[in-house]
Amino acid sequence: MKKSLLISFSLLFILIGVSAELSRGEQRSREIFSESLELLFSEQKYEARLKLDEAMSGEVYIEDIPKFWYYAAKLDTQLGRLDRAREDLQNIFLFSGINQEAETLQKFIASLEEFSVSNFSTPTFYEIETQKNIVDSFEKYYTINDSIVFNSNIYTLDSQNKIIYKKSNEEEKWIRLPQNQKFYNMSKDKNLNRIYISSDKGIYFINSYSKNITMETESSTPSELDPNIENIVKPLIVDYNLFILDTDKIGRIYAYDPENSNIKVIGYDGTILNEISIPLTSIITAGTVLNNTLYTYDLKTNKIQKYDILKEKFEDELILPENIKPISISVLPWNKPIISTYDGFYELNLETKSYKSFSFDSVDEEFQGLFKVDNGLGIFSDYKNYSVKINRLYHNNIENLYTLNLYGLNFDVETYSVNAKIEITDIHGIKIDMINKNLSVVDSGGRVPFNILKRYSIPNIESYENLEEFMNYGVAQSETDSFIIIEGYSDVDIGPEEIAPIILSSNRLFFITDELEVDDRIKNFINASGGLTISRKYSDYLKRYVSNSYKPIDFISYKLTPPIISGIKQTSVNYNLPEKILTDSLYYYTEGVGSGE
């Protein structure tokens, strides 16, 4: 009996000793896990994965195991190791029967197997905001010449009064324009934080302002913008009568010059890079750019034309009947041109020379005005009632229309604040605007109030001699939030392993080519990053542009209230669409604050 009791006590002491030792090992694994998260937030995804391997090779607390595997799956996806990511996700399901984040990532990987940007049908829109002209008998503007959304602000051009009316969640203001000219329309450059305004005297620009924006400089940490920055109207190019058609991903402005019968291609620094000749009789009243395609509308011939920017020639055209007169032209993310007319909307197919009428459920059938698809939004500027409706572009049948990506997270022990890098992009890698609408944040099971911050960051710029070199080294080794220039062509396979890291690392690819014909797989790959395929003649211009550009980065920021229990905490971000919820998660580790631990 005494001997049995002695053995029992001995076993108990051994178990206590093992348990204490195991607890110390688990603690160390959590600390290393936290170091890995710091590396990812610092844009070092490859080093973060190595550090995570170190954490997982130690002793891991059983409740931490699914979190470690999910983080491993995210990193492996960012590194292009999709087979390993699939295994990581399967390991999660062994420990957790239902895991929404893991299922979402699994669906994202599966969707890349059938990655496509074509053959989608008519979209739907749902309204997220309406800007009215008259509120409480007070008139905001007299006419609507154009409207854009930038940095979650709505800018409306009133050329009659020579003003831009700005509306945001924080303020409304009127930006005064020079009085000695006639203004036509607006465009924007997201990498330079500029709004361009065209006029009969040239093109001018202002910088957009918001309280939540900071901007980096070479010599200082990010600082807030001057509130008066929008009041300074600067000339870009003068002494030309110019009507802006659009601005592309590398800051080239396409502007119609009626007096010289051409479309000028103007750089961010005001230099004329190219001139596209058009007939003397042409009158261009609308246009838009999607990647390497420029669409124009000629009022004189009632004709829509498609211009290939790489080949530098008009390829297709569609002559419309006299009863269809476009007001504006825009292109859906899946390369489908849409025109708004005085009799409704039409979907165009220039290859088959056909068109068909359709309507949007969220838009009045009597709508007459400008229609734009831009940054995941449908912007309807109504000429009849002087309102501007902002709708979210949506499609029930497109699994990968939008991707929500939480790709870095940091917990500041001193301020109890959590900051997470977030990006929501469409199938062309274009970031959607007004992400504050329909977004929610959950911390360890409970919803938290949060702010959305934007930083214009100086990007890391990387260069590769050809696609093969980038595939072999750059996909895994490149830092997140980089601008990547690839200069040479090589025959490479492009599949999900190559596409996923680019989307989830928030890198922008710019592919310089000597070829007029570029394989659609390569163009779609480059476009999916939010970048562009560029002719060799623009190589020097591209390098100047990226060297003077910023990489806009969105952050979710919120504060915790002590006591904060020690452990690995989860931050989940949810974006609500009509029939689905996009969700993504990351983690942070805290040793506990104000909890007595």
CB 289 within 8 A of CB 263: no
pTM metric for this prediction? 0.91
Q: What is the pLDDT of residues 48-80, one digit of tens each?
A: 999 999 999 999 998 899 999 999 999 999 998
C-alpha 285/C-alpha 177 separation (Å) is: 22
pLDDT tens column, 422-467: 999 988 888 999 988 889 999 987 899 999 999 999 999 999 999 9
CA 255/CA 240 separation, integer angstroms: 10
Positive or negative, the CA dihedral 498, 554, 289, 397 is positive
User: Residue 83: its pLDDT value, please?
Assistant: 92
On whether the 145-343 domain is CATH 3.30.2270.10, my answer is: no
Closest CA to 556 of 153, 69, 41: 41
Domain boundaries, the chain: 1-113, 145-343, 460-549
Q: 24 pLDDT band (50/70/90 cuts)?
A: confident
User: With 60 as the cut, is the pLDDT of residue 7 above it?
Assistant: no
Structural tokens at position 503: 């989307």
CA–CA dist 276, 290 (Å, integer)? 17
Q: d(Cα 286, Cα 13) in Å, to the nearest integer?
A: 82
Quick one: tokens of 255?
């502007």
Query: What percent of the chain shows pLDDT beyond 70?
Result: 91
Query: What pLDDT, in 10s, does the model give residues 321-353?
Result: 999 999 999 998 888 899 999 989 999 999 899
Q: Is the predicted pLDDT of residue 202 greater than 80, yes or no?
A: yes
Q: Where residue 13 falls among pLDDT bands split at 50, 70, 90? A: very low
Q: Region of 266 please: left (phi>0), alpha (psi -120 to 50) or beta.
A: beta
pLDDT per residue as tens digits for the range 522-558:
888 899 899 999 999 999 999 999 999 999 999 999 9
Q: In angstroms, rounded to a whole number, what is the distance separating the alpha carbons of residues 53 and 6?
A: 41
Q: What is the predicted pLDDT for the residue at 2?
A: 40
Q: Tokens for 16?
A: 């206590």
The helix (H) or strand (E) run that includes residue 12 is helix 2-41
Binning pLDDT at 50, 70 and 90, where does residue 120 land? low
What's the CATH number for 1-113? 1.25.40.10
Provide CB contacts within 8 A for 385, sequence distance 6+: 133
Looking at per-residue pLDDT, the higher value among 125 and 195 belongs to: 195
CB of 93 closer than 8 Å to CB of 103: no
**pLDDT tens sequence across 285-330:** 999 999 999 999 999 999 999 999 999 999 999 999 999 999 999 9
In angstroms, the Cα distances linking 155 to 226, 343, 372 are: 18, 26, 13
Q: Which two tokens stand for residue 237?
A: 């190019």
Radius of gyration of the chain (CA): 27
More confident residue, 397 or 31: 31
Q: Quote the tokens at residue 174.
A: 């009127």
- For residue 12, pLDDT over 80 is answered with no
